[in-house]
Amino acid sequence: MTVSSAAGSSKDRVLIFDTTLRDGEQCPGATMTLEEKLEVAELLDTMGVDIIEAGFPIASNGDFEAVSLIAKQVKRATIAGLARAISADIARAGEAVRHAVRPRIHTFVSTSPIHLAHQMRKTEDEVLEIITRTVGQARNLVEDVEWSAMDATRTPIEYLCRCVDAAIKAGATTINLPDTVGYATPDEYRAMFRAVRERVPNADKAIFSAHCHNDLGLAVANSLAALEGGARQIECTLNGIGERAGNAALEEVVMAIKTRGDVLPYETGIETTMLTRASKLASAATSFPVQYNKAIVGRNAFAHESGIHQDGMLKNAQTYEIMTPESVGVSKTNLVMGKHSGRAAFRNKLDELGYKLSDNQFQDAFERFKDLADRKKHVYDEDIEALVDQNIAMAHDRIKLVSLSIVAGTRGPQRATMKLQVDGKVITEEQEGNGPVDATFNAIKALVPHEAVLELYQVHAVTEGTDAQAEVSVRLSADDRSVTSRAADPDTLVASAQAYLGALNKLMSRGARLHAQHAAE
């Protein structure tokens, strides 16, 4: 099976398989709400992602519901549901994706000796039988079946070929050979794909896929090497989020292919001008900040401080930039909004930044913008992005901050008076603490009693200046679950309260889903 190229192009087409909503969400603390998942999926579809892995339907009722809704709403992309090589998993995945325009079941089983001995506790022949049976079951439910050899890079090549052959004979249309533990080097990974494709007689009946983890910082390099070995699908995530050190970053893979067409003669269907917006949406939804020096989408990706670099940029941008900021959706203009800006200007700015808001969302965002503009001398693009993303994230929260007053100074104890709206009811509390942040969080605990532990509290400025918005990240853990939330406000303490409440809302929402799941069981 081959991937057709675009009309008039001599380059091979590479399919982009995004697993932000599945593997990305498995990153500790990166839980997304249903609404956030739907928004990310819609943007991925608009951006041109070929396959969206929407979740792991058997994992929970919440995951099943998210995959089902995404399958119903996404217009173009293939929607995949992940399933272990277990009959119930595959049936649940098939039910979740059945309404998709292009449904896919993605099933996997371990193949490496260490996994077979210690995790699967199965023989090689038993695993081959499992592959044949479960891939066949999936193919009876959908026409598009992907099979993955978990820990493929630590599997003997002879046995890996036997597994791939069995999967294709059973009906798999895509074969994924993942570097599950991020162990491979580019040469090894390239050679593995070449060997499997050469040795398996019916290899031409399937598309081969790369799925790389970044434990040694080689995920993108390995993914590109897989293309040279014959792979034509790359599995990746926005910002490279994922378990442990993460996955191959979608934006890096796509821009490497676009920028280095001389040595990477491939093409994708991604609209690259949407990459920055997608990165920021994923960051807002997961509450995972993007590091400043992150390739392609980091704040410093197109910043130049060195005098030599600045001199070169002034003479010719190509002296130090191998791609333009506009090619990934970074606007050159930054400071254009203020308290006198009207609705039309604000809507135009949102369009420039890649936001498509409903009328209610726009009205809420505009009111927050005007309030911010009254408090802050200059409103930067980053300020607008922060307030809109926060507004989207908070739209369905059960607990909302109404007001916060702080008494602080050199003579303690500090005191916080807080008013919250909880399920529509407004309640007030006053608490002391060892500092204003401690007092603020104590007030929240008094108003909404809980046992969550604060694992992370981090503050940084969204933009420059003494009136810059403070962006606060908070991570809470409870019952072996960990969630992260971010909030921004010119008042650091207000941002702190909103971030804490955001994390608490996520914990409560997730807890409610788990309770419903257990009740159903």
Residue 247 is assigned to a ligand binding site: yes
The answer to whether the beta carbons of residues 151 and 114 sit under 8 Å apart is yes
Rounded distance between C-alpha atoms, residue 18 and residue 327, angstroms: 20
Residue 211 is assigned to a ligand binding site: yes
Rounded distance between C-alpha atoms, residue 355 and residue 61, angstroms: 30
Name the nearest CA neighbour of 228 among 175, 264, 278. 264
DSSP 370: H
Partner residues linked to 481 by β-bridges: 478
Q: Which amino acid is at 41?
A: A
Residue appearing with tokens 């991020």: 182
Rounded distance between C-alpha atoms, residue 393 and residue 284, angstroms: 7
Name the nearest CA neighbour of 68 among 53, 84, 57. 57
Rounded distance between C-alpha atoms, residue 9 and residue 11, angstroms: 5
Q: For residue 206, give every residue at least 6 positions away whose Cβ sits within 8 Å of its Cβ, in sequence order, or none.
A: 1, 167, 168, 172, 173, 174, 175
| Residue 212 CA neighbour count, 13 Å, CB half | 29
The answer to whether the beta carbons of residues 197 and 161 sit under 8 Å apart is no
Residue 391 is assigned to a ligand binding site: no
DSSP 96-163: HHTTSSEEEEEEEEE-SHHHIIIII---HHHHHHHHHHHHHHHHHH-SEEEEEEETGGGS-HHHHHHH
Q: Which amino acid is at 54?
A: A
- 3-class SS of residue 339: coil
Q: CA distances (Å), 212 to each of 64, 220, 498, in order?
A: 25, 7, 35
Rounded distance between C-alpha atoms, residue 482 and residue 472, angstroms: 17
Q: Which amino acid is at 137?
A: Q
Rounded distance between C-alpha atoms, residue 459 and residue 284, angstroms: 15
The answer to whether the beta carbons of residues 504 and 477 sit under 8 Å apart is no
DSSP 95: H
Rounded distance between C-alpha atoms, residue 423 and residue 109, angstroms: 44
Q: CA distances (Å), 384 to each of 179, 339, 362, 379, 444, in order?
A: 39, 13, 12, 7, 27
DSSP 2-29: -PPPPTT--SEE-EEEE-TTTTGGGSTB
The answer to whether the beta carbons of residues 97 and 105 sit under 8 Å apart is yes
Six token digits for residue 395:
């739209």
Six token digits for residue 81:
């549901």
Residue 151 is assigned to a ligand binding site: no
Extract the annotated binding site for Mn(2+): 23, 211, 213, 247
Extract the annotated binding site: 23, 211, 213, 247
